[in-house]
Amino acid sequence: MTIDHLFQQTLEANLALPRHGLITFTWGNVSSIDRGSGLVVIKPSGMPYESLQACHMVVLDLDGKIISGTCRPSSDTATHLALYRCFPEIGSITHTHSRWATVWAQAGRELPVLGTTHADYFNGPVPLTRRLREEETSSDYEQKTGEAIVELFQQNKLNPMAVPAVLVASHGPFTWGRDAAEAVLHAVVLEECAMMAFHACQLNPQLPPIEDHLLDRHYRRKHGASAYYGQKP
C-alpha cells in the first residue's frame, strides 16, 4: 500500500466516526500504520471533522518523530505508537469517547460477554485497564496509557487480534484491526455491545455471562480456519 492510500483510508475512517455517532465535537481519532516503512498516519489534534482533509493528516515514525505534516498530531499519538510497537499484527487504531463504552470505562467495569453479538467479534470480555498512578499521569501520560494497555494484555495472556478492544479506566475505549475500516468496525460493534449489556444488566442484575461453548461457537463461525460465516473471497 502506498502512503497516499494510507492517507485516504485513514481520512475516511476518521470521517466515519461522526457518521456512526461515535464522537462528540473532536473527541476521537484514527491512525494507521504502514508496516513496511514503519510510518504512522494519524488525525491532527483538535481538528473539526467537518473541515478534516487528507492534507491535514500527520505522518510520524514509531519513535514519534514527525515525518510530514504541518499540524500537531493527536494528543493520543503516544498511546497509538505504544500499541503499534508491541502488537505487530495491528494495522490501525481507533479511539473514541463513545457514550456506552465510556460508561463502562468510567464505572471501572470490563464489558462482559452476555450474548452472541459480542461473541461474534470479541473472543471474551473486553478488558479494563488498571487506574493510572499519579506519577504516570504527571509525566508521559499518553505513553503510560499505552503501556497500561500492553501490560493488561500481556499479564492476562490476551491475543489482541482475538479481543481487538480495551476500556481504559476512567477514560474510554480503544479498538484496532488489520486496517482502518476494521478498527472502526470494532469501535461500532463495541459501542452497540456496551449499550446492550448496560440494559441487559439493568433488566437482570444477576445475569451470568454467556456459556463458553456458545461464545466459542459464535466466535469461530467468523474467525479462524473453520469459519463459515459470509461468502468466500
The residues assigned a catalytic role are 120, 229
Cβ within 8 Å of residue 233, ≥6 positions away: none
Q: Please give the Cα distance from 52 to 12 (Å, whole number).
A: 10
Residue written as grid cell 510530514: 68
Q: Please give the Cα distance from 28 to 111 (Å, whole number).
A: 20
CA 67 to each of CA 29, 32, 133: distance values in angstroms, whole numbers, following the listed order: 19, 15, 32
CA 44 to each of CA 85, 131, 215, 223: distance values in angstroms, whole numbers, following the listed order: 20, 27, 38, 34
Sheet (strand 66-68) strand order: 66-68, 58-60, 39-42, 28-34, 92-96, 172-177, 165-168
